[in-house]
Structure 1
Amino acid sequence: MISASGSLGQNYWSRLHGPYGGTVLELKKLPNGNLAALRNEGLYISTDNGEEWNRTEQGSVNSNLCMDVSSSGTVYLGKSSGGLWWTNNSGQSWSFNPISVAPHSGLWASVVIVKVSPQGLVLINNHISFNGGNNFTAFSYNGSTLLSRDYAFNSAGNIFSATQNGIFISADNTSSWTNINGNLPSLNASGLLTDGVNLIAALPGSGIFRTSNNGISWMEINNGITDFNISKLYKDVQNNYYAGTSEGRVFKSADQGNSWTQIFESHSVNLINSIYSSGSLVFLTSSLGIYYSDNNGISWSEKNKNLTVPVFNSLTSPDLNSIMTASGSGIHYSSDNGMSWVRRNGDLPSVFTNILHRCPNGEILTALKNSGIFRTSDNGVTWNLSNGGIEAGSGINNISNSTGGSIFALSSSAAFSDTVKLYRSHDNGNNWVKILQPESKFFNVLKTGVAGKIYLASLSSFPSKLLISSDNGNSWTERILDQFFFPGSFRVSGNDLYLISGGQIFKSSDEGITWEIIQNGGWSGSGISAFDVNRRGDIFVSHSGSIYESTDNGNTWNTHNSGLTPGALITNFFFDNSDYLYGVTYNNGIFKSADPTITNAVNSSSIIPDRYMLFQNYPNPFNP
């Protein structure tokens, strides 16, 4: 039986305000003065110089790769296996072309680059359109099929193309091309720009070069450049040059490249995707979102409101009303229940982490790939290496507390090329001892239960296996789960074990010896995108966009959809110290239950949750 639930007049879910950030691929100014920002999942428009962003719908949604804007204001988007889309009205309506011409006959092409000339020619990949994108003609570089990485146009009508095999010029709208590498030290070109007189080229590893004679000769112009891995070139209307690098640096030149000054550097940013400047205003887009300066790069702030982090890897609640999240955009912290957020990467060597874990003493641990475990006692303001006893190169991807006060950390490889290792700490993660190295490389899930029990699950092998320890990891019992074919999520609540297989929920009350099927909520198929069980044994399932809860072992189910925004797909659940439920989504932020899932708790703040780990699971249907 299924029934809808929720208090009268109150939604079950409320959406948190952020955190904001995540990769922004391009930023362009429209002729009407608005700004357009492109992310993989959509096109965003700002009418207030980046203070707030609003997503357009329809054709802009999902799989975007690149963007350009014509002089008339048409916005073109290139998509992965989606062809070319364009809008003349800031996303209110869209046209598209699947680009089903050679070499993409019968397929929707992946458009990895789109550039619009001042005359309105549209170039994508190795195709050109003379009618605004409605029809395309393929071209080659004198018989060679090369993929252009950038195009540039001059006032004489010439088209320049940067490829992995050199720079080319066409004086006849791509009918023929001439190689203009001249004396360049490398053929590998990543970016181009023109200023009416000069052609500027970026060569990763070699820096920036300039020609004033269409490539007959080139001059190196790297004075002041300290990072030669140039990924992006840009010129503003004042004829200032900008160069962004793959190491998160930006350089500016006010004298046609004769000298450069660094105006931006961040160890957290690993790639500058695009640059836009007007007067003293400078915008940068990166893997962490949009950075903004109103004083020519002297100081910077983030301009990401409504650009929600797309994928969350982990979530924990350090204390009452506070939330900490980890994602590809780094670690964010909120002290006001998700109303506002600050970035808390501190001095971590990398922003990307899969794990946030709350220790029994309240400190937070995080693990970085190949960099070990770090701890914070001030909610991420500072982080300190907490790696004593962890072998070099160990990629920690699970951390869990036992009821006896110990902490366990599992090192395993998603590619199954490394040996699995289990570590134990008796002092809140300051020091670790390796206690287990299973023969199988496929153990990838760590859970802890009551009475100090520890569970290691191998869900990505056949047959799947379960290792159980009742003595703090000193000895282990093995269970063969050959009745399940590559099961999904594995959970522990009290003395009960749960897993997903073939779209069904299974439960064991005897340490995995026998399993019973939990009657589902009437759904069909294997569309479970999230599954969890709270400490009382209440089951929560996200299936095909709906949220189900059973408090009686699957005999009856309630749906909890009120408060979810349209299209929000919850891809994982988390419980905080007070038994509130969090649902994290792909591209729609985080939702929190209005009430605790256990309302008769005596003092839930004294209970330390046993799991805060999340592998990125979109579009994976299950999170182990």
Structure 2
Amino acid sequence: MRQAILLFFSTIIHFNTAFTQQPLSPLEASFRQYQAMKAASVYKFDWIPLGPTLNSARADVVQVDATRPGTMYVGFGSGSLWKTTNHGQSWNPIFEDQASFGIGDVELAPSNPDIIYLGTGENLKKPRNFTLPGTGMYRSTDAGKTWQHIGLEDSWAIAEIAIHPKDPNIVLVAVLGHLWSKNKNRGLYRSINGGKSWQQVLYKDEMTGANDIVIAPSNPQIMYASLWEVYPGISGKNSGVYRSVDGGKSWSPCIKGLPTGRLVGRIGLTVSYTNPSKAYALVDNLNNARDEAAELYKTTDGGLTWRKTHAGPFKIFPGIGWYFTDVYVNPKNDEDVFCLGVRLAHSTDGGKNFTFIGGKVTRMTPSLAQGLHLDQCELWINPHNPQHIAVGNDGGFYLSYDQGLSWMHYNNIPTGEFYDITIDQSNFTIYGGTQDDATVYGPAKEINLNFPDPWKYLWIDPWDGGDGCVSQVDPDDHKIVYYSMQHGYAVRLDLHADTTFVIQPELPKDSPDTLRFNYITPYFISPHQGQTLYHGGNFIFKSQNRGTTWKVISPNLALSANSAKKSFALGALVESKLTKGWLYAGTDKGAFWVSKNDGINWIEHSAGLANHYIRSICPSRFAVERVYLAMTGINSDDLHSYLYVSEDAGASWKSIAAGLPDEPVNVILEDPTQENLLYAGGLRGVYVSLDRGISWSYLGQQLPASAVADLEIHEASMELVVATHGRGIYKLNLRPIQAMAAGKIPLDQDHLFEIPVAKRPWFNSSGGEPDYRTLERTPITFWLTAPKPVTLSIRNADQKILWKTTLNGQRGFNQFRWDLVTSRHSSDYPYFVHYERFLAAGVYQMVLSSAGNNDRVRPLNVVDSVSPYAKER
């Protein structure tokens, strides 16, 4: 009877329809638009990478080539796939120039590690506007040098990949599907020809995706898979475990002994390397109390029956099992089990008892962090030497050769996931909050990965992380800094006294209302008075004493007059720089509110706006009632662009998204000097408009395709700083663009721009050698009316040419960043050290030459750098 029931279920969920092509992800079309705009752009400025690396980023995928242990791969949820071939001394991104850069899973073929399958689309369901969907499956046959797109275009979120141990053309993919909406192209897919065609072999409904798939190494005909009802919540009656005994062609549900019902969430699986009938399932069982939801189950009869391995509660994820729920088994000992949650749990007796792995951690980049970061995402175990393990977590990539007694933390990869940045205008220090890697601050200097990272933690929690959100610097005293964590928790830090004061506001004790804050809660210092702060949840608060006390200055702004815009809380909150007390607030469902009297009265002006998350509001400095707004629909699987302007304080809105790639826009910023000059940060880069949004161009080059989280300008230097969610921070100088916008350069003539003062590296006093930590490249910027070869040369007072280089110039802005090296030498002498010669301090002429045109000449002032250690001495 039991077998008959299982056969009945297997026929319901067994599909053999050959898959040809799914609907393309909208990211494919927007990627082509992005590529075309990037190629056509006349703004060929270099984005300068600033790092940081010390705080690392969330590593969702870790893989090591067991045949070449120095070759390792790390996939960052929103920062692409990185590879090292020298044990992590240096890393390179290997999944660039693709339509999607969010990584779901990566697997090396056990029979040939040069064959790699990559599934795009993050599978971590976080409603924070940066959970990036993907465009399907990719395959490489040359260890990541080149990639082929192999289908499953509508998958959006890929949770797991499993490859046959002997035949790399047999691959199964657990497709989680659209995270925030229904879709039928989800479930478990199988290919027997390396991804040329696919079969959907396990499917339940449009709300249930596949979360995990494992193949028994000793008998690849036996497989285990899990389904997860991921939409609309984090659990459902369709979540469960399935088993196949015919290589994945058909599947039977595993019921006896496992929890069932609408409160079963994510399920992770592992199978013994030697006994295909022995498997483990780690279940997020929300029928239990939140902090006791984790349960580990074991089967020894091929999934027919299961039993819980532990008698007491297993507290590894307190109500957030949707974040983790992965389990792994030692390839040499199937009673040796690892479970991933907030911490890394280890059992040596088949799950009866657990200890937590911590260990001593050494870091490639020294930092204040001390232990193994929390929130474990993936584990890799060397099949030949189980003492050799690697883990990816919210703090990055860790490697151990003694099963976790000691670790090396590879925090030398610039993949920071920033939410927000601010700039100390007095000294150009950048502060930024990151996804579970705290808040960091550092100089606006080009990063050199050969040397220690100069960035530091503003704060870090006792578990070596914590979500950093919004930072602010007191304009009257830059030693007073504000930082925040999730859900409105904000702190004032006094660096004079090294003291902190929590400034999170609360409703009056007798208030009948409930106060709510979004994960990233907006707050800011008034541009008109340095001790005045505003803070926004579903109510807005004001403080006139740096957050020591607060008063409520709004009604519940989540209650829109439009029921479709009923919100949780604010997503953006700002004050006009022109008019004190003019406040603008935007919610997570597109409700826009205005107060022209510092919160005494509020008016909703939401008509004409989409019902999405308002992330950025920019009041104009040039017109009192002009205001710009950017919103994103990524939290509801809407990947279109939404960018607006109002000339009447929001009473009416006009879209200015035309001309941008049709993809989410996260931030809009007006230039501080030119009324018509705008900058927008989108899913893959930064865009510039010279006509207040009528038309747009891609800005710069060498910025990786990564979601732009924030834009800020250091006004003394006119450097535009961009924070990405996945690839760290970059900067670009705006003065040439501002000059063009102001009509100060003739666009029908070649033009060489003024060159900033050039600094030689500091030469140490003991040996006279350059300290390359102090090297700064000098930008030489010029405009060309047409593409052509050009020569840049340096001449001294006697018109002697001391250096020159020939470049293939392009129409528009060009930029060459020079390190001041005039010659390079080599020698076979054993003690030869003077490999590079730098231009001496002095005043020179920089000359731009091209055939048939007059030379363009600018003075170049070269100065010696001051010792970076002078203050220390």
TM-score with structure 2 setting the length: 0.55
Secondary structure at the aligned position of 2:325 is classed as strand
Change (3 A) 1:298 1:46: same
Map of 1:351 onto structure 2: 466
Map of 1:326 onto structure 2: 433
Whether the 8 Å CA contact 1:152–1:193 is kept in 2: the answer is: yes
Change (3 A) 1:529 1:225: closer
| Residue among 271, 278, 282 paired with 1:193 | 271
Map of 1:115 onto structure 2: 162
Map of 1:152 onto structure 2: 215
Secondary structure at the aligned position of 2:86 is classed as coil
Residue 439 of structure 1 deviates from its aligned partner by: 6.5
Map of 1:50 onto structure 2: 88
Map of 1:302 onto structure 2: 409
Map of 2:865 onto structure 1: none
Change (3 A) 1:242 1:499: farther
Secondary structure at the aligned position of 1:139 is classed as strand
Secondary structure at the aligned position of 1:375 is classed as strand
Between structures 1 and 2, the one with greater helix share: 2
Residue 89 of structure 1 deviates from its aligned partner by: 0.8
One-letter code of the match for 2:720?
Answer: L
Change (3 A) 1:162 1:530: closer
One-letter code of the match for 2:430?
Answer: I
Whether the 8 Å CA contact 2:223–2:247 is kept in 1: the answer is: no
Secondary structure at the aligned position of 2:553 is classed as strand
| Residue among 309, 330, 340 paired with 1:245 | 340
Whether the 8 Å CA contact 1:53–1:307 is kept in 2: the answer is: no
Distance (whole Å) between structure 2 residues aligned to residue 261 and residue 587 of structure 1: 32
Change (3 A) 1:533 1:263: same
After superposition, give the CA deviation of every residue in 1:11-66 in whole Å (9 maximum; x if it has no partner): 66422123463332211122443112223453221212334331113558424322
After superposition, give the CA deviation of every residue in 1:67-102 in whole Å (9 maximum; x if it has no partner): 2221211111223563322111122222333249xx
Map of 1:415 onto structure 2: none
Map of 1:104 onto structure 2: none
Map of 1:25 onto structure 2: 60
* 2:246 equivalent to 1:172: yes
Map of 2:549 onto structure 1: 431
Whether the 8 Å CA contact 2:627–2:647 is kept in 1: the answer is: yes
Residue 475 of structure 1 deviates from its aligned partner by: 4.6
Distance (whole Å) between structure 1 residues aligned to residue 282 and residue 550 of structure 2: 47
Farther off after superposition, 523-532 or 319-328: 523-532
CA RMSD of aligned residues (A): 4.9
Distance (whole Å) between structure 2 residues aligned to residue 483 and residue 28 of structure 1: 48
Distance (whole Å) between structure 2 residues aligned to residue 524 and residue 548 of structure 1: 10
Secondary structure at the aligned position of 2:668 is classed as strand
* 2:302 equivalent to 1:207: no
| Residue among 398, 405, 409 paired with 2:523 | 398
Change (3 A) 1:409 1:237: same
Residue 285 of structure 1 deviates from its aligned partner by: 1.2
One-letter code of the match for 1:575?
Answer: I
* 2:585 equivalent to 1:493: no
Change (3 A) 1:371 1:380: farther
Change (3 A) 1:436 1:554: closer
Segments of structure 1 that go 5 or more residues without pairing to the other structure are 101-106, 413-419, 600-624
Distance (whole Å) between structure 1 residues aligned to residue 585 and residue 253 of structure 2: 57
Map of 1:16 onto structure 2: 50
After superposition, give the CA deviation of every residue in 1:382-421 in whole Å (9 maximum; x if it has no partner): 8542235556744242323242333232323xxxxxxx42
Higher relative contact order, structure no. (Cα contacts within 8 Å, ≥ 6 residues apart): 1
* 2:302 equivalent to 1:232: no
| Residue among 668, 674, 692 paired with 1:531 | 668
Map of 2:4 onto structure 1: none
After superposition, give the CA deviation of every residue in 1:336-375 in whole Å (9 maximum; x if it has no partner): 4354234455238983354212234432223344353222
Change (3 A) 1:24 1:513: closer
| Residue among 51, 62, 71 paired with 2:101 | 62
Change (3 A) 1:244 1:451: same
Secondary structure at the aligned position of 1:370 is classed as helix
Residue 564 of structure 1 deviates from its aligned partner by: 4.3
Q: Whose Rg is larger? A: 2
Residue 485 of structure 1 deviates from its aligned partner by: 8.7
Whether the 8 Å CA contact 2:419–2:709 is kept in 1: the answer is: no
One-letter code of the match for 1:231?
Answer: T
Residue 216 of structure 1 deviates from its aligned partner by: 5.9
Residue 115 of structure 1 deviates from its aligned partner by: 0.4
After superposition, give the CA deviation of every residue in 1:88-143 in whole Å (9 maximum; x if it has no partner): 1122222333249xxxxxx6686433201213231123333333333333434999
Map of 1:134 onto structure 2: 196
Distance (whole Å) between structure 1 residues aligned to residue 171 and residue 647 of structure 2: 58
After superposition, give the CA deviation of every residue in 1:533-587 in whole Å (9 maximum; x if it has no partner): 355566442489665486xx97999999556436577564213474543123454
Map of 2:23 onto structure 1: none
Distance (whole Å) between structure 2 residues aligned to residue 79 and residue 117 of structure 1: 20
One-letter code of the match for 1:227?
Answer: K
Map of 1:370 onto structure 2: 487
After superposition, give the CA deviation of every residue in 1:430-488 in whole Å (9 maximum; x if it has no partner): 2212233377746753214357434234588999653213xxx3755869697999997
Distance (whole Å) between structure 2 residues aligned to residue 108 and residue 569 of structure 1: 20
| Residue among 534, 545, 557 paired with 1:409 | 534
Change (3 A) 1:408 1:336: closer
Change (3 A) 1:232 1:489: same
Change (3 A) 1:513 1:35: closer
What pairs with 1:503-522 in structure 2 (closer than 5 Å)?
A: none
Change (3 A) 1:68 1:464: closer
Map of 1:91 onto structure 2: 144
Change (3 A) 1:225 1:18: farther
What pairs with 1:432-581 in structure 2 (closer than 5 Å)?
A: 432-437=550-555, 441=559, 444-449=572-577, 452-457=580-585, 466-469=594-597, 473=598, 475=600, 489-493=617-621, 496-500=624-628, 530-533=667-670, 536=673, 539-542=677-680, 548=688, 561=699, 564-565=702-703, 567=705, 572-576=710-714, 578=716, 580-581=719-720
Whether the 8 Å CA contact 1:70–1:118 is kept in 2: the answer is: yes
Distance (whole Å) between structure 1 residues aligned to residue 356 and residue 527 of structure 2: 49
Whether the 8 Å CA contact 2:389–2:399 is kept in 1: the answer is: yes
Secondary structure at the aligned position of 1:16 is classed as strand
Residue 177 of structure 1 deviates from its aligned partner by: 4.4
Distance (whole Å) between structure 2 residues aligned to residue 525 and residue 312 of structure 1: 22
One-letter code of the match for 1:24?
Answer: A
* 2:72 equivalent to 1:35: yes
Whether the 8 Å CA contact 1:402–1:454 is kept in 2: the answer is: no
Distance (whole Å) between structure 1 residues aligned to residue 161 and residue 330 of structure 2: 19
Farther off after superposition, 71-80 or 537-546: 537-546
Map of 1:124 onto structure 2: 173
One-letter code of the match for 2:197?
Answer: N
Whether the 8 Å CA contact 1:315–1:326 is kept in 2: the answer is: no
TM-score with structure 1 setting the length: 0.74
One-letter code of the match for 2:596?
Answer: I
Distance (whole Å) between structure 2 residues aligned to residue 343 and residue 293 of structure 1: 25
Secondary structure at the aligned position of 2:522 is classed as strand
Whether the 8 Å CA contact 1:402–1:453 is kept in 2: the answer is: no
Change (3 A) 1:399 1:110: closer
Whether the 8 Å CA contact 1:231–1:271 is kept in 2: the answer is: no
Whether the 8 Å CA contact 1:152–1:160 is kept in 2: the answer is: yes
Whether the 8 Å CA contact 1:574–1:581 is kept in 2: the answer is: yes
